[in-house]
Structure 1
């Protein structure tokens, strides 16, 4: 059995203050940003991979939009600015998935996803079919009810559908 730490024996002065904890967190982020080491590289690999792909997609969209915005400037300026920003943000994205608190979160996320019991492909097809049929039945039902109300309101003179606009009498248009 492991040892249990008794909280009563700790003194108040030995606990770090909230302010110093935030400061050390910022320092840890900048130290991680400038390092090239990998934090727990083989754990949470799929979660990190897909998070990195999502970050790269956002980066690609942003750089593409910036490149289009810089249209009219020299082409080497467009490529230079976009290239430098893409490289900087790519490095930041790479470092983010190796930042210890974020990497631990991704590792824990993948561990929880591995605990999920996923349904079989046949059950998924059946459930999808039920949803699609239900949506179609409800759509036809609402279409029929809408047409019944349209005819009824047209008969009593509240709705004028002869013009094909479907607007109420007295409304502008």
Structure 2
């Protein structure tokens, strides 16, 4: 008897359910299938709040085959004659049909006062995987109003595994 009552209520709930559509959808698209996926409203939730002299940020959402969440904290450590130093800590979690993934990281970004030199250090960890460290730096030297030299480099390594990857580049420019 209880099973029949539960099935009856479930059938009644299904009959009474309504499918929502955006306003003016029927007028704009009269020949489109009314229950298509493209009429669904985005359901991602994003926030950005000030906390402790910095910002807490995050996003919760989904794609057709996964759920994800991202969150972190950013803060300006200093902004004075030494330049600007910003710090950030973040993490993400993805649940999907092909597997799950968790990712943590932290980053420091420095720019000098006139923005012609910058450096970044980032440390990341995939849970169940390796930890990676990456450092980048670049500088621009202006010799006169038409001549400049820019150079930069990157060093990246999975900590404790193999040799680091190193990249260097430079460019000399003169406008005639």
> Whose radius of gyration is greater, 1 or 2?
1
The TM-score normalised by the length of structure 2 is 0.22
> Which one has more relative contact order, counting CA pairs under 8 Å at least 6 apart?
1
Q: Structure 1 or 2: larger helix share?
A: 1
Q: Structure 1 or 2: larger strand share?
A: 2
